[in-house]
Amino acid sequence: MTQIQDIAVLSAASFLGFVGFSLTGFGMAINYFLVYQIAIYAGYEGKFLYAVFIQAFAFFSVQPLIFKTVEIKKFASKNALLYWVPVTIIATPIGSITGKFIPTETIELVTGFLVTFIAIFQIYQKRIIFAKHIRKLCCCSTGEKQEHSCDKEKQDRLTMMKGELEIGEEDTSFGNTARFWTVMASAISAYFGALCGIQSPPIILYFLYPPSPLRFNKKSQRATGVIMTMTNGTMRVVYYLFEAFTATGGESSYFQLDDWPLYLCVVLASLGGVLVGNIAFDALKDSQNNIRMILIIFMLICGISFLFSTFLLD
């Protein structure tokens, strides 16, 4: 039976998770679990696997709104999705099933490792921007504008190297190496997405270092990433529904009719988070780098808290 604490914590986590997702294009689960971890340290007695279930439900609930803002047919990579989607459909239930037999503490440690890895990797990728902000905090020199211009040029070169700028259409050929890495990345992402709610690391690496001949610009990366993420979220919800309908009298299911107030609040909070995040994105275009830096720091704190939660909390 859902309690007021569950509604407050999980709704707030969903709302702030999707505000961050709309602002930065990544990290819904990261921000979601950061709020969850803060609540745990404050005395909230929630169950981690149930929070993972609600996170999947929240992602599923906002699909129509997110699809509306992304031109999937025009920009999504059909070559990548041709292999990614079927593998995700297979690997996601495997992650959900094995999660029943793995201790929660182990899953939290895995989650902490994945989140910390993402944070450190993001800090490394954006090290020039971080260095610029650190220099601004340490000193205020007269040559700051010139230094800023130099940093911007360096960042533009790095951006071009990472393939984030607009480029030509991808090659229609798709070799065995590209197939192999696409299958591997999708399987790992789907498995850990179902196991602990964190599917981002393989997706981030896949977009940063796409197998030849795949190439991604900002629009194609966003459209392709939405399909990758939503396929995993949809399969997780399908698995939970299957579990609910096939559960016998002595078995429990995450889906409970008595929990409808929680589901309703999570849906409303998630949709509100997407809308607020989109509004904030339009209003804070000039501050996107600052927002990303703050969220990456939050991500690192969240990952470290997961790593130590098993040892600090009974």
| pLDDT, greater one: 226 or 281 | 226
Structure-token match 């939660």, residue found: 309
User: pLDDT by residue (tens digit) across 101-160?
Assistant: 888 778 778 878 877 887 888 788 777 777 776 777 666 544 444 444 445 444 544 443
String of DSSP letters for 24-75: HSS-HHHHHHHHHHHHHHTT----HHHHHHHHHHHHHHTHHHHHHHS-HHHH
Domain ranges of the chain: 4-312
What per-residue confidence (pLDDT) applies to 144? 46
Instruction: Assess contact for 305 and 50: CB atoms under 8 A.
Output: no
Confidence class for position 185, pLDDT limits 50, 70, 90: very high
Q: What is the pLDDT of residue 112?
A: 80
| pTM for the whole structure | 0.72
Mean of the pLDDT values across residues 53-65? 88
